[in-house]
Amino acid sequence: MDDLNAKAARDRKIRHVVEIIVLIFLFICFIFPFILVIINVFKVRADITTNPLSLIGEHGFTLQNFPEAMEKMNFWRSFGNSMIVTVSATVLTILLASMTAYVIVRNNWKACGALFGLMIASMVIPFQVLMIPLVSLYGGVLGVLNHRATLVFMHVGFSLSMATFMFHGAIRTNVPIALEEAATIDGCTKWQTYWRIVFPLLKPTIATVAIIDAMAFWNDYLLPSLVLGRKELYTIPIATQIFYGTYSTDIGLVMAALLLAMLPILILYLFMQRYIVEGVTAGAVK
């Protein structure tokens, strides 16, 4: 019996080691392109071409790629546009989705159930189905394209259903109705109860929605390319794509532009990553 237990323990250890090795291999495969960008962004073009896998090129370490890329792609203008669109759309999505979910959860109206069902159903509609009618309507009929506000409202509209779904589960599971009843007894209105009791308890879900939507808004290329046609309104993905088309032969500049484009959202993720799992699973288990 002891031999069987020892053999089973050895088999478990072997399986565990094999799983770790496989995961490490997959991680290296996944992270390798990013590492390649990091080690080559500090080289001159000749060193990147001759030996892209070396840590330091023959001409040494250089930071020249960054200021040159920032100047040629008008980085700060594009960065400002992306920040305005991303922050505005993310804040509006969080506020509107959390309020909508709160009303749906705390009211047994048939209209709430129908609205929630329609929002869930809308999540399966691909954006590609809507983009041509959307541009035709907003551009040809209403004439409101080439405005950052139009892009913000479109982002909010497309992300609201998923955010409401996440807040719905979090409120139903993690916000006890007893707390709201106690606040009502103390004289709080529905509005005060929401802001002082419900909203602070949704911090993990708020952080998760903020990360997911901010990454989507910041990295989105298709919708901004349809809505924004003027150079002064270009966001980071559009500016990066145009920059790549112009300077595709200078790999160092291209990699610097890519690193600059991903850096802000990477910093946001690193600061808020601990909330992701907690927020995603907030409404999963009753």
List C-alpha distances in Å: 220 to 13, 138, 234, 269, 270.
44, 19, 12, 17, 20
As a whole number, mean pLDDT of residues 262-283 equals 69
Quick check: 233 pLDDT over 50? yes
Query: pTM higher than 0.95 for the full model?
Result: no
- Which tokens belong to 160? 């609201």
What is the per-residue pLDDT for 252?
79
Q: Cα–Cα distance between 57 and 46 in angstroms, integer?
A: 9
Give the rounded distance of the alpha carbon of 124 from its chain centre. Answer: 19
Place of tokens 């999505």: 93
pLDDT band at 4 (very low <50, low <70, confident <90, very high): low
List C-alpha distances in Å: 240 to 152, 235, 248.
20, 9, 11
What is the per-residue pLDDT for 175?
82
Q: Residue 189, by phi and psi: left (phi above 0), alpha (psi -120 to 50) or beta? A: beta
What is the per-residue pLDDT for 20?
93
List C-alpha distances in Å: 247 to 68, 241, 244, 253, 257.
11, 10, 5, 7, 10
As a whole number, mean pLDDT of residues 198-219 equals 88
Mind listing the pLDDT tens digit for each residue in 184-205? 888 888 888 888 888 888 888 8
Quick check: 61 pLDDT over 70? yes
Mind listing the pLDDT tens digit for each residue in 92-145? 999 999 999 998 988 888 888 888 888 888 888 888 888 888 888 877 777 778
pLDDT band at 163 (very low <50, low <70, confident <90, very high): very high
What is the per-residue pLDDT for 3?
63
pLDDT band at 286 (very low <50, low <70, confident <90, very high): very low
pLDDT band at 283 (very low <50, low <70, confident <90, very high): very low
What is the per-residue pLDDT for 277?
60
Within 10 angstroms of residue 154's Cβ, the number of other Cβ atoms is 22
pLDDT band at 24 (very low <50, low <70, confident <90, very high): very high
What is the per-residue pLDDT for 281?
54
As a whole number, mean pLDDT of residues 36-51 equals 80
As a whole number, mean pLDDT of residues 256-272 equals 81
Quick check: 172 pLDDT over 90? no
